[in-house]
Homo-oligomer: A and B are copies of this chain.
Amino acid sequence: MDSINEVTLETVKKATSTLSGHVIRTPIQTCDTLDLLSGRRLFFKCENFQKSGSFKFRGACHALSRLVSANGTTPHRLQVVAGSTGNFACGLAMAAELFGVTAHVVMPNNSPECKRQTALSYGADLTLCEPTAQDIAQTVKQVQDVTGAVFISGGNNPDVISGHGTMGLELLRQVPNLDAVVMPVGTGGMLSGVSVAIKSICPEIRIYGAEPEVANDAAMSLSKGERCTFARFPQSIADGLNGNIGPVPWTYIQSYVDNIFTVSEDEIKNATRLVWEKMKLVVEPSGAVGVAAVLSDSFKAQAGGCRNVAVILSGGNVDLQVDKLSEFL
């Protein structure tokens, strides 16, 4: 595979060009109530409107597009496999359907039903496993052994990260006079890609991650100066952020990210509800963690000078069953 080994402004720019016509240039929405509550002007990047319901389609589509190009004209013979808490599986499944590639996806058995159904609806072959990093890796390996599928790491593949970085370039064009960007951190692909893109052009813009307190591997990593991981995934309501930060994103995060704010489960639930109620947007709890961060006391204390703040609403894949919604509504 003719993969790029680094994520740079150039690889993100190339990804933008490759993805043109495939991804949605998601709109920016604003909300007077949330501006008032946060004490700043917020610009919400609506990746819940992205194809497959989350930003993950960007990276998956980019990686697959490059893989297909490298393999010439027989995409139907290609098979790919990925492990994912859910949204990367959905993104990869949709991109695979687009390119005529067979996708195998491995998801933890506690992932939301809607994410499993979405991956299946795009024709992916789904295998469930225990919600541990080890079991996901082992299951992916087993699928690879049986099928010969090419492994695409949702967390560490530079093509995936460059694809996610395209959001950063869009943000710079969409929001003038940006002071900071806040986004959720799971495996760190979005945070690393977007930070490379934005810091390369506007190093003065602050890049902030937002993470559940109970899944604070990225915050711990940044604080200790070395990558920390959980053996068994935490159980945050922000299910998409329960995975560990990957070694590749970590190198960029270490260089480019100004801070990572952690928020409680209650803060995440409250932020999710606010986005539904005030912005009329269906956002999943993982997608609202950036909102929880900008509403938090620690953000108010530490990001005082930031007037114009972009917040990435990373996805909207949430089980619409009443018993699931009762967790945050």
Contacts and interface: CB of A to CB of B under 8 A. Distances in A.
B280 A48 contact: yes
A302 interface: no
25 contacts: A27-B27, A29-B49, A46-B280, A48-B280, A49-B280, A53-B280, A114-B277, A273-B320, A276-B320, A277-B282, A277-B320, A280-B281, A280-B282, A280-B283, A280-B316, A281-B281, A281-B282, A282-B282, A320-B329, A322-B322, A322-B325, A322-B326, A322-B329, A325-B325, A325-B329
A48 B277 CA distance: 11
Interface string A279-321: 1111100000000000000000000000000000000100011
A48 B29 CA distance: 13
Given A273-B320, A277-B320, 9 more contacts: A276-B282, A277-B282, A282-B282, A320-B329, A321-B329, A322-B322, A322-B326, A322-B329, A325-B325
Contacts of A276: 282, 320
Contacts of A48: 280
Interface string A4-32: 00000000000000000000000101000
Nearest to A48: B280
A321 to B, nearest CB: 7
Interface in A95-147: 114
Contacts of A29: 49
A282 B277 CA distance: 8
A131 B124 CA distance: 51
A115 to B, nearest CB: 12
Mostly helix, strand, loop or mixed at chain A's interface? mixed
Report the copy number of this chain in the oligomer.
2
A123 to B, nearest CB: 15
A108 to B, nearest CB: 22
A280 to B, nearest CB: 4
A114 B53 CA distance: 27
A27 B27 CA distance: 9
Nearest to A282: B280
A49 B29 CA distance: 9
A311 to B, nearest CB: 16
A91 B286 CA distance: 32
A86 to B, nearest CB: 15
Contacts of A114: 277
Contacts of A321: 329
Contacts of A46: 280
A170 to B, nearest CB: 16
Nearest to A53: B280
A29 B49 CA distance: 9
Nearest to A47: B280
Interface string A48-78: 1100010000000000000000000000000
Contacts of A326: 322
A53 B29 CA distance: 14
A326 B321 CA distance: 8
Chain B CB count within 10 A is highest, among A282, A283, A321, A329, for: A282
